[in-house]
Amino acid sequence: MEVASALFFIVDPFRWKTELKAQLKRRMLAAEVNIGYSTDLTEHANIKMTKQKTSIPSFRYFIHTFGCQMNENDSERLAGILEGMGAVKAAVLEESTLILINTCAVRQKSEEKLYSLLGRLDRIKRKNGALIGVLGCVAQLYRDNLIEKKPTIDFVMGPDNYGDLPDTLAGISSHDPQSKRVITRFSREWHEIADSLILRESSFSAYVTIMEGCDNFCSYCVVPFTRGREKFRPIRNILAEIQSLAKNNYREVLLLGQNVNSYKDPESGISFVDLLKTVNSVEEIDWIRFITSHPKNFSPEIAQTMAANRKICRQLHLPVQSGSSDILARMKRQYTRDEYLENIAFIKVLMPDIALSADIIVGYPGETEKDHKETLSLLEEVRYTNIFSFRYSPRPRSAAAGEEDSVPLEVKRQRLIEVQALQKDIQLSINRTFIGKNIKTLCTGKSKKDTGRYTGRSEGYQVINFDAGCDVVGQFVQVEITSCGPYSLRGRMVESKDACPH
């Protein structure tokens, strides 16, 4: 899945860096008690400032995000750092003088979109002298090569280095090629950025990062090379952030990580199961979600914890990638088709109404027609409410990049069409079962296609578009489902005094 979002910011001209540091410290003071900071807050929040009084130019900021929820959350943190520098929203992109692009490297298509965007931004750079920074996974993967390929880029920054953003901005100039910077260090230590520095896009649903990185090294995957090895956020910091969200009337939290099931508190050794129970104890939070899980790490205890704690949504993203045990072995996924299906069966016994989703890769090197048919049959057996499906593309540094990309492009295309056509039929069949039922829905905003209607998500993370007699954004409402398509449900809100008081 690719998600794109934009945030625009202006910073007042000629702010001394010492003043900047003071502002950051004031913004983070609220986090001192909850997270246990006791000395220099900017140091503990991993925000780095030089001590000289270098002035900060009058930037107007634009952040464009490609990729997953982790990238979205990172962009919220980047925006918060800019807010700590005194930033406010700018009017239009064309006036931007600093453009940050937060990138995704999981698939080749994401990289192609980056280069296409950079081409369009050349005009703004020529007009405004805009600084362009490429951040995220593509930045970590290609480093200096990015600037060599696209000299319009002024700095490159990997995901583990966002605390260096203020210093980086102070030390570069779009008119000085010698000032270009590449910051792509990795650290095995957790870098905490205070939650008070997160500029959240939603006032009722929040991402909460619990871990980063991956130790699995699946043969097709670049994540260990772009996000590094697994490292875990202290549970006291996680809980402090969620308690702060609850006090600010957030209704839903989504626990984030490349492999959340492997979570282990670095201080106490508390497991993911215990973390879920702890988060479930925060009374003001209504819904708890988590992503992403790895099937080999998804234990029966996690499923039992989900079933026993009703705040944890009956929704699970469990990426299978292929329905063929042979391909799964080649992918180094460390489970078989049968083991995956046994896990799914156990989950469904505990939670018969659970909504499942997955990732599917078609055309992996060596995939035969028999392997492909096994993926189709797995879709029919599991009956996911949603999938994210892609053609295989070799990723740099991954083990599979050294293999022959043996499945022709046209075959990949046809197999993807077949996967998506079957899944469309399955989703339509599932969605029809909701017609006539009332579904608890968290309203997330106005419908983009029809501003006269509202949109929201069910507990199963299904999109629901509905009519309402008043503004219910950020509220839980009951929606009677009247019709559906394969990708969404449609209905009308069941009137209540709580939702629409008169």
What pLDDT score was predicted for residue 492? 97
Q: Residue ranges of the domains in the chain?
A: 6-183, 196-431, 438-493
> Are 258 and 222 in contact, with CB atoms under 8 Å apart?
no
- Kindly tell me if the per-residue pLDDT of 308 is higher than 70: yes
> Are 275 and 235 in contact, with CB atoms under 8 Å apart?
yes
- Confirm whether pTM is higher than 0.75: yes
What pLDDT score was predicted for residue 39? 28
- Kindly tell me if the per-residue pLDDT of 97 is higher than 90: no
Among 229, 238, 315, residue whose Cα is nearest residue 275 = 238
Of 32-46, 195-209, 277-291, 422-436, give the lowest mean pLDDT range. 32-46
Q: How many helices (H) and strands (E) does the chain have?
A: 15, 21
What pLDDT score was predicted for residue 196? 82
- For 350-362, what is the mean pLDDT? 98
What pLDDT score was predicted for residue 290? 98
278-284 long-range Cβ contacts below 8 angstroms, 24+ apart: 278/235, 278/239, 279/238, 279/239, 279/242, 279/253, 279/255, 280/309, 280/311, 280/312, 282/239, 282/242, 282/243, 282/246, 283/246, 284/246, 284/247, 284/249, 284/250
What pLDDT score was predicted for residue 58? 61
What CATH code is assigned to 438-493?
2.40.50.140
CA distance 475 to 113: 35
- Kindly tell me if the per-residue pLDDT of 208 is higher than 70: yes
CA distance 156 to 142: 9
- For 412-416, what is the mean pLDDT? 98
- Higher-confidence residue of 91 and 251: namely 251
- Residue 440, φ and ψ in degrees, nearest 5: -65, 130
Is the alpha carbon torsion for 380, 381, 382, 383 positive or negative? positive
What pLDDT score was predicted for residue 89? 65
What pLDDT score was predicted for residue 49? 44
- Kindly tell me if the per-residue pLDDT of 312 is higher than 70: yes
What pLDDT score was predicted for residue 8? 32
- Kindly tell me if the per-residue pLDDT of 51 is higher than 70: no
pLDDT per position as a tens digit, 127-164? 888 889 999 999 999 999 999 999 999 999 999 999 99
> Are 366 and 406 in contact, with CB atoms under 8 Å apart?
yes
CA distance 440 to 372: 37
What is 6-183's CATH topology?
A: Rossmann fold (3.40.50)
pLDDT per position as a tens digit, 233-257? 999 999 999 999 999 999 999 999 9
- Higher-confidence residue of 44 and 299: namely 299
Please, what's the largest Cα pairwise distance for the chain? 67
- CATH number (3.90.550.10, 3.40.50.720, 3.10.20.740, 3.80.30.20) of 196-431 reads 3.80.30.20
Average model confidence (pLDDT) across the chain = 87
> Are 460 and 355 in contact, with CB atoms under 8 Å apart?
yes
What pLDDT score was predicted for residue 46? 53
What pLDDT score was predicted for residue 502? 53
- Higher-confidence residue of 469 and 334: namely 334
Among 444, 388, 400, residue whose Cα is nearest residue 222 = 400
Q: Could you check whether 196-431 and 438-493 share the same CATH topology?
A: no
